[in-house]
Every structure is written in C-alpha cells, then in structure tokens.
Amino acid sequence: MQVKEIPAEGITYDQLKIEKIPLSDEYIERDPSLVPAANRAVVINPCRTCMPLGAMFATLGVHKAIPFVQGAQGCTTYVRYTFCRIFKEPAAIANASFHEDTAVFGGWKNFIQGIRNLVVRYWPELIGVVTTCASEIIGDDMVSYIKAAKKKLAEELGEEKAAAVKIVLISTPSFAGSHVVGYDRAARAFVETLAVEKTAPNNKVNIIPGMLNPGDIREIKHLLKVMGIDSIILFDIADVFDTPLRPPATIPYYPKGGTPVADIADMANSLGTVALCPHEGGLGARYLERKFGLRAVVGPPPVGVRHTDMFLQNLSELTGRPVPEELLDERGRLLDFMADTFHHTMMKKVAVFGDPDIVVGVTRFVCELGMEPVAVLSGTPSKTFPQEIENIVREYNFAPQVFNGSDLFEFEEYLKKTRVDLILGNSKGVDIARELEVPLVRVGLFVYDRVGYQKRPVVGYRGGEFLLADIVNSLLDYKYPDDRTQQL
C-alpha cells in the first residue's frame, strides 16, 4: 500500500475551516493597527488573572492555613472554582462578604467578625489575609484591623488559643499586578512575618517553587532526596492539591500537607534560598538574603536539560554535595529519549504561552529538542522576560516574536499569519489550537480540561521525559496516519 506523504509545510490558514465563537461565519481580517495589545486600551481574552489568586494559592500551601479574602464574595468563589477545576480538590477560602454598607463604612466590622467566625469553626493554624481591589480602594487599614482582630480573639477565646492562630497580611490590590505578582508578594509576606529571627543553623536549603503543580513539587523533593539535602519548601502544595481519598472521621477537613508554620520560621537559619521561578518567589528569596545574609539563587525554572543541570549545580554549590550517579543516570535517560525522538521534533515550529517563568523553562526545553519557537507570550508583563527569552534563543539562533504582557487575541491573530506545528500552553489555548488545527500540549498552572496534568511533573529530568512524550505523541496523533505510527 502506498502511504501518502504528509505535507511538510503544514496547513496554511486559508486552507482551514474556520469554526469559532464567531460573530460571523467567515474570518474577518481584523484592523491591523488594533491587533497589537500595546496599541489598544481593550484587552481581549486575557492570559493572566489578578493578584489575589496567587496569594490564595500560596496560603493554601501552608499547613492548616486558610486564606481570608477582604473583598466581595465573587473574589473568593471564582478562585475556589478555579482551584477545584484545576486540581479536582476542595479549597476552603473564607471571605469578608463585602456588601453595600462596607463600601460606605469600610471593612472593619466584616474583618473582625469574619476572623472570629472562621476561627471558631475551623481553628486554623494560620490565616492569610488577602486584600482586593475593593478593600484597597476604600482604604482598609489592615495592620490595625489585624491587631484588633487578635485582641478580640484573645478576649473571647483566651490568650493561648488566640496566639495559636498566626495571621499573615498579604497586600494584593488586584489592579496592581497579576496572579504571578500575588504569589511573589505572598512569598515575601510570609517570610517577613514568620521568619523573624536567626537562631541555630539547620543545614537546610529553602526552596520557593513558584506556582508549579503538585507533581512538580514531588519531583523537586525527589531530586533533593537523591542529593541528600534537607529542605524547607515554601509553599508545599503537593499534599494539599493532590490528596488521598481516605474519609476522615471528624470535621473540618484539612489536607495533610502544607509547609508547617514552624518550618517557615526556621527558614532564617537555612544555608540559602533557591527560588525556582524568578517572578514567583524571587521577592521572598531576596528578602531573606538582605535580612539574614542567606544566599539567594533566583531561577531558572528547572525545565529541560540545561536548566535542571543549573538547578542541581546551584544546590551542589550551596551544600557542597556532589551530584550523585543516580541523577546523572536520570539525565542520561532523558538524553536517550531525546535521541530516540529528535526526528519528530527537529525544526518543528512551536508557540509557547503562559506565566513568564514556565514559558522561559519550556522555551529552553523546546530549543534543546531542536524545535523552533516562533511566538512566545507571557501574560504577565515583566521587565526581565524579553531578555531571558533573548538569552535562550540567541544561543540557538532563533528569533521568535516575543509578546510581553499581551493577550491571547493578539497571539491568535499572529499565529494565523505564520506557520506553527504545535502550541504549548494552558487550557485557555484550546480555542486557538482548534482554530489553527494544530495540537496543544498542555503545560502550566491553568490546565482544567484534561485530567492528571497536576499529578505529573515537567521539572527535572523525569519531568522532561513526560513533557517530551506529550510533545511527540501530540504531533503523532495529529499528523500521522495510523499505519505509519505502527512502524516507528
């Protein structure tokens, strides 16, 4: 049987059937002067959300901690819904339930009452107070509110019980940045509030992982264990957003995991801090460096061979431990996998979008696979992102279009006019991939339309293997007839 050759050029846009949410059946050429996000006031299909989500994510990564959102109910409900959809896990987040009277009189009453109501039901060990656009605009003085709330708790429940509940303030006015910034600020707020004193050295390494998935955190823990390094992971969401089904006999339900409060206090005594994602946790690492002189290693996210090498190198330098044989084997296995599959990946054109750090990591990895990034988008605007991408692509002689803080509308319009074989990004890219008829490899935080992605790593050598398998299988599923895939 003669197998028909697959067109090497891919499918150009004019050959595609256009099928989307559209206002009309036909593709309409958009006003080119308004396509770049920088030229317009309106944002279309944003690729970032607002600060409080990052702060809530971080707070949930602390053992027996509940975020308390000083804002309207939607700020909490939407975020709980988002976490539930991504991780398929419950997420308890309390809210100050702002109503019209709050907008007039301020959120004092709501806060004091709310903290008390939360404590008598859940007895959390820590409450992360997350502010919102509303509370910041009406000018709630959260520092004095927290003092008053603590006093009220002590009066009602006694000093001892009140003192057992730590309260951390994370100031996150929604209009001042994206969820990435929210996590960054939370990292700093937690170490600033809890790690106040340097006592005896603990020989541990602090890791601030950023907004990675539970599978990634487990992989980081695996690498540290093989290296023989003790660590404190702030915010350890591994056993919060990926927990066993073992019905508890009592309420309330708390996941087993999360960084213990005592460990965060102990972070001042560590050897140094590694922030895997510069935009998500860099502030925390730099704060510890300034305050306690702990060496801060900020980035790069350990996705792909070189970045994981650098991560292990940094750990090695911090602790004086060599990289063991076992990890060299893991590295070798990834390289072997890359050799087995490069004929599928070489010279394929890819587009990457998402949060800045994961995009930098993935861009490095696809370059290592011989793929050519043609468009790279960070939803969150960043001062360093274009330079970080530039450093990678210069090494491989590519020149992708870099979108810094742009939206998915511009990204889509750009991709319609250029050839691309594969898109890497989160579930918000489904519509684009479907319209362009190219595969989407799901990577990053907001993956909610498929299952299991939160359990699997993309970091480390083993994570690289998972990601590579995904990339190659997606290409095969899309472009190869069945009888050819049998002959691999």
Partner 1 sequence: MRYPAENGCQAARVCTKAGRAMRLPACGSPTVPGVITSRACPYYGARWLLAPVKETLHLVHGPVGCAYYGQTVRRKSYRILSTALDEKDVVFGGDTKLVRAVREALRLFPDARAVFVYGCCVAGLTGADLAGICRLATRATGRTVVPVSCAGFGGASQGDGHDLAADVLVRFLVGRTSPAAPASYTVNLLGEFDVAGDLQEIKMLLNQLGVSVLCTFTGEASVTSLGYAHAAALNLVHCQRTGGSLAEAMTKAFGTPALKVNFFGFAATAASLRAVAAHFGREEAAEQIIRAAETRVEPVLAELRRHLAGRRVGLYFGGSRVGSMAAAYRELGMEVVWAGAQFGQQEDYAAAWPDVADGGVLLDDARQFEIEKFLCQAQPDLFVGGVRERFLAYKYGVPFTVFPQEGKPYAGFTGFINFAQDIWRAVASPVWRLVHSQ
Instruction: Tell which positions 241-260 bind partner 1, by CB under 8 A.
Output: 243, 245-253
Q: Which stretch binds partner 1 (CB under 8 A): 75-83, 307-315, 362-370, 473-481?
A: 75-83
Cα(267)–Cα(229) distance, integer angstroms? 15
Does residue 239 bind partner 1 (CB under 8 A)?
no
Residue 371 burial (10 A CB sphere; 0-12, 13-18, 19+): buried
**370 within 8 A of 397, measured Cβ to Cβ:** no
Pull the structure tokens for residue 407: 């939206």
Nearer to partner 1 (CB atom), residue 283 or residue 366:
283
**Is 356 or 460 the residue whose CB approaches partner 1 more closely?**
356
Interface with partner 1 (CB under 8 A), residue total: 84
Shortest distance (Å) from residue 229 CB to partner 1:
33
Q: Is 29 in the site for partner 1 (CB under 8 A)?
A: no
| DSSP strands (E only) in 243-355 | 272-275, 295-298, 349-354
Give every CB contact of residue 371 below 8 A, 6+ residues apart in sequence: 345, 346, 347, 348, 349, 350, 422, 471
Measured CA to CA, the distance from residue 363 to residue 359 in angstroms comes to 6
Region binding partner 1 by CB under 8 A among candidate stretches 38-46, 200-208, 361-369, 472-480: 38-46
Residue number with CB closer to partner 1 (132 or 308) = 132
Sole binder of partner 1 in the list 110, 213, 231, 314 (CB under 8 A): 110
In the bound state with partner 1, the residue whose beta carbon lies nearer, of 136 and 263, is 136
Among 55, 56, 60, 98, binds partner 1 (CB under 8 A): 98
Site for partner 1 in 314-373 (CB under 8 A): none
Q: Burial-class residue 383 by CB neighbours within 10 Å (0-12, 13-18, 19+).
A: exposed
> Under rule CB under 8 A, which residues in 49-68 are in contact with partner 1?
49-53, 68
Specify whether the CB–CB gap between 303 and 220 falls below 8 A. Answer: no
Q: Smallest distance, Å, CB 40 to partner 1?
A: 5
Indicate the pairing of strand 205-208 with strand 231-233: parallel
- Give the residue with the Cβ less far from partner 1, 107 or 460: 107
* Cβ-based neighbour number of residue 255 at 10 Å: 20
Residue 29, SS3? coil
Q: Which of residues 113-152 bind partner 1 (CB under 8 A)?
A: 113-118, 120-122, 132-134, 137-138
Smallest distance from partner 1 to CB 249, Å: 8
**Among 73-81, 294-302, 323-331, 393-401, which window interacts with partner 1 (CB under 8 A)?**
73-81
Q: Which of 82, 131, 363, 426 binds partner 1 (CB under 8 A)?
A: 82
Considering the rule CB under 8 A, would residue 80 count as an interface residue with partner 1? yes
For residue 65, list its beta bridge partners.
Answer: 126
The H-or-E segment that residue 466 falls in is helix 460-479
Question: Taking a C-beta distance cutoff of 8 angstroms, is the pair 328, 313 a contact?
Answer: no
Per CB under 8 A, which region of 100-108, 309-317, 357-365, 417-425 contacts partner 1?
100-108
